Amino acid sequence: MIYTSGTDWAKKKVDWSGRNAVAAAIEWGERLLGAKDACLHGQWKTWQKKNCPFSLRTAELYMQLARHKMWALKLSRDNPDLPLAELARVAAHLDKQERQVNDRDKPTTPPDDGDSDGTDDFADVFAPDLGGSD
Protein backbone atom coordinates (compact mmCIF):
# COMPACT_ATOMS: atom_id res chain seq x y z
CA MET A 1 0.00 0.00 0.00
CA ILE A 2 1.38 3.39 -0.93
CA TYR A 3 1.27 6.24 1.56
CA THR A 4 -0.66 9.23 0.30
CA SER A 5 -0.59 12.75 1.64
CA GLY A 6 -2.99 13.66 4.37
CA THR A 7 -3.69 11.82 7.58
CA ASP A 8 -7.46 11.31 7.45
CA TRP A 9 -6.90 7.54 7.39
CA ALA A 10 -5.12 7.76 10.76
CA LYS A 11 -8.25 9.09 12.40
CA LYS A 12 -10.79 6.73 10.84
CA LYS A 13 -12.88 4.48 13.03
CA VAL A 14 -11.98 0.82 12.90
CA ASP A 15 -14.11 -2.21 13.64
CA TRP A 16 -12.00 -4.05 16.23
CA SER A 17 -14.40 -6.96 16.72
CA GLY A 18 -13.41 -10.57 16.09
CA ARG A 19 -11.39 -11.34 12.98
CA ASN A 20 -11.68 -7.75 11.83
CA ALA A 21 -9.20 -6.78 14.56
CA VAL A 22 -6.27 -8.54 12.89
CA ALA A 23 -7.17 -7.26 9.42
CA ALA A 24 -7.59 -3.72 10.79
CA ALA A 25 -4.27 -3.88 12.65
CA ILE A 26 -2.52 -5.07 9.48
CA GLU A 27 -4.14 -2.30 7.43
CA TRP A 28 -2.99 0.26 9.98
CA GLY A 29 0.46 -1.32 9.96
CA GLU A 30 0.74 -1.08 6.18
CA ARG A 31 -0.25 2.56 6.24
CA LEU A 32 2.09 3.30 9.12
CA LEU A 33 4.99 1.64 7.28
CA GLY A 34 4.28 3.91 4.33
CA ALA A 35 4.08 6.97 6.55
CA LYS A 36 7.32 6.04 8.32
CA ASP A 37 9.10 5.64 4.98
CA ALA A 38 7.86 9.08 3.96
CA CYS A 39 9.16 10.75 7.14
CA LEU A 40 12.54 12.38 7.24
CA HIS A 41 15.13 10.77 9.50
CA GLY A 42 14.25 11.39 13.13
CA GLN A 43 10.71 12.63 12.42
CA TRP A 44 8.76 9.36 12.72
CA LYS A 45 8.02 9.52 16.45
CA THR A 46 6.82 13.11 16.19
CA TRP A 47 4.59 12.26 13.22
CA GLN A 48 3.17 9.18 14.95
CA LYS A 49 2.42 11.04 18.18
CA LYS A 50 0.70 13.87 16.32
CA ASN A 51 -1.34 11.74 13.91
CA CYS A 52 -2.21 8.46 15.62
CA PRO A 53 -4.71 7.90 18.43
CA PHE A 54 -2.52 5.19 20.01
CA SER A 55 0.97 4.74 21.44
CA LEU A 56 4.23 4.28 19.58
CA ARG A 57 4.40 0.70 20.90
CA THR A 58 0.99 -0.05 19.40
CA ALA A 59 2.09 1.48 16.09
CA GLU A 60 5.19 -0.75 16.14
CA LEU A 61 2.98 -3.79 16.84
CA TYR A 62 0.73 -3.00 13.87
CA MET A 63 3.76 -2.49 11.61
CA GLN A 64 5.19 -5.83 12.73
CA LEU A 65 1.88 -7.53 11.88
CA ALA A 66 1.95 -5.88 8.44
CA ARG A 67 5.55 -7.00 7.81
CA HIS A 68 4.54 -10.59 8.55
CA LYS A 69 1.04 -10.36 7.09
CA MET A 70 0.83 -13.84 5.57
CA TRP A 71 1.71 -15.60 8.81
CA ALA A 72 -0.36 -13.21 10.94
CA LEU A 73 -3.49 -13.91 8.91
CA LYS A 74 -2.93 -17.67 8.92
CA LEU A 75 -2.26 -17.75 12.65
CA SER A 76 -5.30 -15.60 13.42
CA ARG A 77 -7.53 -18.01 11.45
CA ASP A 78 -6.09 -21.02 13.28
CA ASN A 79 -5.94 -19.31 16.71
CA PRO A 80 -8.67 -16.66 16.87
CA ASP A 81 -8.10 -15.91 20.58
CA LEU A 82 -4.36 -15.22 20.26
CA PRO A 83 -3.57 -11.67 21.46
CA LEU A 84 -2.16 -9.33 18.79
CA ALA A 85 1.23 -9.02 20.50
CA GLU A 86 1.66 -12.80 20.65
CA LEU A 87 0.38 -13.12 17.09
CA ALA A 88 3.00 -10.63 15.88
CA ARG A 89 5.78 -12.36 17.81
CA VAL A 90 4.93 -15.83 16.48
CA ALA A 91 4.35 -14.56 12.92
CA ALA A 92 7.77 -12.86 12.92
CA HIS A 93 9.40 -16.05 14.21
CA LEU A 94 7.72 -18.24 11.58
CA ASP A 95 8.56 -15.77 8.82
CA LYS A 96 12.22 -15.78 9.90
CA GLN A 97 12.29 -19.60 9.96
CA GLU A 98 10.78 -19.74 6.48
CA ARG A 99 13.38 -17.30 5.11
CA GLN A 100 16.20 -19.34 6.66
CA VAL A 101 14.90 -22.53 5.04
CA ASN A 102 14.57 -20.76 1.69
CA ASP A 103 18.06 -19.30 1.99
CA ARG A 104 19.49 -22.70 2.87
CA ASP A 105 17.89 -24.24 -0.22
CA LYS A 106 19.35 -21.65 -2.60
CA PRO A 107 22.47 -22.67 -4.49
CA THR A 108 25.52 -20.79 -3.31
CA THR A 109 28.08 -19.18 -5.54
CA PRO A 110 31.56 -18.23 -4.42
CA PRO A 111 32.16 -14.51 -4.02
CA ASP A 112 33.91 -12.70 -6.84
CA ASP A 113 37.41 -11.62 -5.83
CA GLY A 114 37.39 -8.74 -8.27
CA ASP A 115 39.89 -10.26 -10.71
CA SER A 116 39.02 -9.73 -14.31
CA ASP A 117 39.96 -13.33 -15.10
CA GLY A 118 37.44 -14.65 -12.58
CA THR A 119 39.94 -16.82 -10.71
CA ASP A 120 40.75 -16.84 -7.02
CA ASP A 121 44.46 -16.19 -6.89
CA PHE A 122 46.17 -17.19 -3.66
CA ALA A 123 48.86 -14.62 -4.25
CA ASP A 124 46.31 -11.84 -4.62
CA VAL A 125 45.30 -12.30 -1.02
CA PHE A 126 48.15 -13.89 0.91
CA ALA A 127 51.48 -13.15 -0.79
CA PRO A 128 53.35 -10.03 0.34
CA ASP A 129 53.92 -7.31 -2.17
CA LEU A 130 57.31 -8.34 -3.57
CA GLY A 131 57.33 -6.11 -6.57
CA GLY A 132 59.66 -3.15 -6.71
CA SER A 133 58.71 0.28 -7.83
CA ASP A 134 58.02 0.47 -11.56
Structure confidence at residue 19 (pLDDT): 59
Structure confidence at residue 82 (pLDDT): 86
Question: Pick from 92, 105, 79, 78: which is nearest to 29 by CA?
Answer: 92
**50-103 per-position pLDDT tens digit:** 998 889 999 999 999 999 999 899 988 888 888 889 989 999 898 888 888 887
Residue 116, CA distances (Å) to 38, 113, 120, 127 in order: 41, 9, 10, 19
Average pLDDT value for the chain: 77
φ, ψ dihedrals at 56, nearest 5°? -60, -40
pTM to 2 decimals?
0.65
Question: Pick from 56, 68, 74, 79: which is nearest to 26 by CA?
Answer: 68
